[in-house]
Structure 1
Amino acid sequence: MTKLAEMKCEACQLDAPKVTESELAQLLPLIPDWDVNVRDSIMQLERVYKFKNFKLAMVFTNKLAELAEEEFHHPGILTEWGKVTVTWWSHSVKGLHHNDFIMASKTDQLMD
């Protein structure tokens, strides 16, 4: 399998398939620091990144914003002193799509 971070997001239409339970089981080990949360019946990927201060958290947030624009797939981002909480899900399918796992992996690479 190609590394997730090397893949590109595809345009996600309303009828795009959500990841299946078996796909979820295969994809989650590829992004081990991410949690699956369900909010308002919508499955989402979430991770908290920690930083030494607010300025470094903002640098990361801005890098993530640039990445999201490049891929045209946008996360929930909560930037606080010393941490950034990132949440990926596909609004159009109201759940998780393969794109969310690609973006979670790409987000992890921003820390390298």
Structure 2
Amino acid sequence: MADLLNDTQISEALATLSDWQRDGDSIVKTTKLDSFGQAIAVVNRVAELAESVDHHPDIDIRWRTLTFRLSTHSDGGITGKDVSLAQQIDETINSL
């Protein structure tokens, strides 16, 4: 089990992430890519990252708009695992 982050830790983490926001016990980011193919490429890369750390985001795909929702469900909220995966998602998007 991972330790839940407190409100201050979550706010500090969000300040280091690009366009992520807190929504209850999750952190959420919506991003628009240049094409559907590019959006799916990001989803595929994020899937590989998520599998490698056994931590899986909820992903909503709407044409070329992606919404990522991260929460450590087994721990009941936001943990360092979510922040780490959010950073990797940002890196993936920024690498395009």
Please report how far the alpha carbon of residue 28 of structure 1 lies from its aligned counterpart in structure 2 after TM superposition.
1.5
Counterpart contact for 1:36–1:46, Cα < 8 Å = yes
Match of 1:6 in 2: none
The answer to whether the 8 Å contact 1:44/1:89 transfers is yes
Q: What residue is the counterpart of 1:98 in the other structure?
A: 80
Matched, 1:37 2:23: yes
Contact kept in structure 2, 1:57 and 1:80, CA below 8 Å: no
Percent identity for Structure 1 against Structure 2: 27
Aligned match of 1:28 in 6, 10, 14?
A: 14
8 A Cα contact 1:35 1:45, kept in partner: yes
Please say if residues 32 and 65 of structure 2, whose CA atoms lie closer than 8 Å, have aligned partners that are also in contact: yes
Aligned to 1:5: none
Specify the alignment match of 2:52 in structure 1: 70
Normalised by the length of structure 1, the TM-score is 0.78
Q: Structure 2: 5+ residue runs without aligned partners?
A: none
- Structure 1 residue 30, shift from structure 2 partner: 0.9
Aligned-pair Cα RMSD in Å? 1.2
Q: State the 1:82 CA deviation.
A: 1.3
TM-score, normalising length from structure 2?
0.90
If you compute each CA radius of gyration, which structure gives the higher value, 1 or 2?
1
Partners of 2:34 and 2:3 lie apart in 1 by: 39
SS at match of 1:84: strand
Q: Find runs of 4+ consecutive structure 1 residues off by over 2 angstroms.
A: none
Distance 1:88 1:54 in 2: 22
Higher helix share: 2
